[in-house]
Amino acid sequence: MNRVQALRERWWWRLPREARDTLFVLATIAAVLLPHTSHLPLWCSALAAGVLAWRAQLAVSGKALPSRVVLLAALVLVVVLTFNSYGRLTGREAGVTLLAALLALKTLELRARRDALVVFHLGFFLLLMQFLHGQGMAVAGWSLITCWALLTALVLAQMPMGRPALRVAASQAARVTLLGLPLMAALFVLFPRMGPLWGQPGEAVGQTGLSNELRFGGMSELAEDDGIALRLRVDEGQLPIGQLYLRGPVLTELTPDGRTWLPPAPPPAEPAALVPAGEPPQVRGPLLRYTVLVEPSRLRTLPLLEPGDEPAGATLTAGELHARRLPTLDWQARAPLTQQVRLSRQTHLATRHGAGAATPEVASALALPPGRNPRLLAWAQALAARLGPGASAQARSQAVLAHLHEGDYFYTLTPGAYPGSDAVDDFWFDRKLGFCEHYAAGYVIALRAMGVPARLVAGYQGADAQRQDGWLVVRNRQAHAWAEIWSAGTGWQRVDPTAAVAPSRVDLGQPLPAPQNALARALLGEGGGLLRRLQGWGETLDLRWQQWVLNYSRSQQMGLLERLGWREPDATALGQLIAILMATTLAAASALLLWRARRHNRDEADHRWLHARLAALGLPAQAHEAPLRWAALVQATWGAAGEPLRALLLAEEARRYGPLAATAPRSAWRQWRWRRGVARVLRHAAPQPRRASR
């Protein structure tokens, strides 16, 4: 402890007050800029770090700040680099970049209090800007800490010169922050909901691993993505994990190179947004009601449980979300999902779609690029010939699945690349190593070659084994690809070729774990149990944060007003409650100010109280004198007998006027304890004044 104190005396406390305050402000600015670094150009982060380090060196050494010419040249450089990075000086990204660079440059002319106030206001503004990148608990916690630091720096800037302790300014800032938290919480609960406050239309705050195309072998790259794609809770009914298929983009078109699957292009005369209602589905099976929380995505496709009961052309509206079911039976919103979406849905898991006559979508599910994968096409046609022309689509499908089951195929995350022009042939006949999209793509091509309409579906299958607050957690690494085949009278039927090779992947809903490095195996074990538990706790807290804070909606506001006594609450009732809250807050603040204005400062009250006690003992002390003068009078009047009282008066002098004096008076509790101690000293240590002899 003595070494720490010596080091502090040697370095921090030996610096001038201005230098110490400047270093604290620079550290606070660095904390404000830190969350933006992953979204800023590399040159901007490097520039900010270099400028802050330079300013800190100038503060410690006491050298002069750079001239205006240097600052003007740096400003021109920042503008040029920003324009070069974004092609404009407006917009969210360019604006945040400019603000971050200008905040760092402003510290180079931090001379007067006016400059400090500009820095503080820029810091608060950039503090708000970090919510454009995310609104999780970690962001909120960091914002609270940096806001406290900014307020502390602001308090320091208003303090008189001297050497006040940093903890005094920090405690004052914390007191102000705590006083404002109840009002902030009340305004959050009552402020009218006006849609998403953060983000811009068409911008995705987060991204899932799925995309609108599927490259042969590309889905295995998602095996190491532990990000949450969605959460699902069963409200009524039973959902076996083996039936947890969440439908994403449906892919029917195969590129000429035979390697990439794409969604069908909408007909020119009949765009997807105007698709008429399709054939009613054949609803079968028990009812299942569920709630799904879909995370922000770069896609417009809503991953919902299949098959679903709505026909093609059905619409879905929830708040600002508007989606329509396409002829391929996937749900597509008007714009990418820029915020978390909560939906309550129902379905019958045995429902059938498209059981009637063939449609254009069925016909397009037979096309194959010419000249690609000739061995697989020849094998499939030979298999169809052995089965006979009268074999059903289901019989042909079972024959292909039996080949996969008995053909020594291996399900693996690391099958290696298939670089050849006939990649599916290489997989099907030679290496036989693949992930889900390898088996689904090969199966669809084989069925099409046999004359059975087939298409590929990308989505999610399965969920984490452990639930979080009753929610099934579906991660990006549980992205999956399967197939659908069509037959008259049955319609579209799901077939998962992966189940023929790796049944546990489908039945248990657990993908293969990503390979762990040696350090992870040594610290966490092969399964990463500790890491998974910590991750689960964090995600549970994040889920509650999203439900209680980020997803706080207008309906919850109206429910609160109903509980408070409004029968039919509306915007007018909400305004009335806000007005009542503001009037109550103003009345309470006014009463507090009046009470503080009427009561005396505690130090002044203590001074008068102590003077009255000394006068009662006969000491010739004057009310305008300081405790140091009274201590001299005690020594002159009582000599060594008054030493306890003299020591107490010297301590009071040091507390009020010494170099480490506190800027705030005693609290009521400390004042009461101090007076008790003084009364004890006066009662037992102070003698009666000596009477003059006659």
Tens-place pLDDT, residues 228-245: 888 899 999 888 888 899
**pLDDT recorded at residue 386:** 92
pLDDT score of 571 more than 60 = yes
Q: What DSSP string runs through 109-174? A: G--SHHHHHHHHHHHHHHHHHGGGT--SHHHHHHHHHHHHHHHHHHHHHHSPSS---HHHHHHHHH
Distance between CA 341 and CA 294 in Å, rounded?
A: 5
Q: How confident is the model at residue 291 (pLDDT cuts 50, 70, 90)?
A: very high
Higher pLDDT, 163 or 570: 570
Average pLDDT over residues 74-87: 90
Q: 212-221, 267-276, 645-654: which has the minimum mean pLDDT?
A: 267-276
The 472-475 sheet, strands edge to edge: 341-348, 287-294, 228-236, 472-475
Distance between CA 463 and CA 475 in Å, rounded?
A: 7
Q: How confident is the model at residue 25 (pLDDT cuts 50, 70, 90)?
A: confident
Distance between CA 646 and CA 175 in Å, rounded?
A: 35
**Highest-confidence range of 274-278, 300-304, 555-559, 622-626, by mean pLDDT?**
300-304
DSSP state of 298: S
pLDDT score of 540 more than 80 = no
Average pLDDT over residues 450-478: 88
Higher pLDDT, 297 or 482: 482
**pLDDT recorded at residue 551:** 64
β-pair type (315-318, 253-254): unpaired
Q: How confident is the model at residue 508 (pLDDT cuts 50, 70, 90)?
A: low
Q: How confident is the model at residue 483 (pLDDT cuts 50, 70, 90)?
A: very high
pLDDT score of 276 more than 80 = no
Is the bond preceding residue 497 a cis peptide, omega within 30 degrees?
A: no
Structural tokens at position 105? 């440059």
Instruction: With 0.85 as the threshold, say if the pTM is over it.
Output: no
pLDDT digits (tens, 9 = 90+) for 395-422: 999 999 999 988 889 888 778 788 877 8
Distance between CA 498 and CA 4 in Å, rounded?
A: 63
Q: How confident is the model at residue 49 (pLDDT cuts 50, 70, 90)?
A: very high
pLDDT score of 203 more than 50 = no
pLDDT score of 485 more than 90 = yes
Average pLDDT over residues 115-130: 84
**Highest-confidence range of 148-157, 244-253, 682-691, by mean pLDDT?**
244-253
**pLDDT recorded at residue 530:** 61
Structural tokens at position 479? 């992205």
| Whole-number average pLDDT of the chain | 80
**pLDDT recorded at residue 450:** 93
Higher pLDDT, 226 or 522: 226
Q: Which residues contact residue 469 at a Cβ distance below 8 angstroms, ignoring those fewer than 6 apart?
A: 540, 543, 544
pLDDT digits (tens, 9 = 90+) for 15-24: 777 788 888 8
Structural tokens at position 101? 């660079």
pLDDT score of 80 more than 80 = yes
Distance between CA 348 and CA 354 in Å, rounded?
A: 16
Higher pLDDT, 274 or 89: 89
pLDDT score of 484 more than 90 = yes
Higher pLDDT, 192 or 256: 256
Average pLDDT over residues 264-271: 57
- Composition of the chain by helix, strand, coil, percent to 5: 55, 15, 35
Q: Where are the alpha helices (DSSP H) in 426-528?
A: 436-449, 498-501, 503-507, 518-524
pLDDT score of 11 more than 70 = no
Average pLDDT over residues 95-111: 88
pLDDT score of 575 more than 70 = yes
From residue 507, alpha-carbon distances to 8, 348, 481, 568 in Å are 63, 19, 15, 49
**pLDDT recorded at residue 5:** 54
DSSP state of 274: G
Q: How confident is the model at residue 453 (pLDDT cuts 50, 70, 90)?
A: very high
Average pLDDT over residues 473-482: 88
Average pLDDT over residues 379-392: 91
pLDDT score of 528 more than 70 = no
pLDDT score of 206 more than 70 = no
pLDDT score of 194 more than 70 = no
Short-list 633, 626, 678, 628, CA closest to 650: 628
Distance between CA 459 and CA 328 in Å, rounded?
A: 14
Q: How confident is the model at residue 161 (pLDDT cuts 50, 70, 90)?
A: low
**Highest-confidence range of 66-80, 325-339, 349-363, 519-533, by mean pLDDT?**
66-80
Report the chain's terminal Cα–Cα distance, integer Å: 59
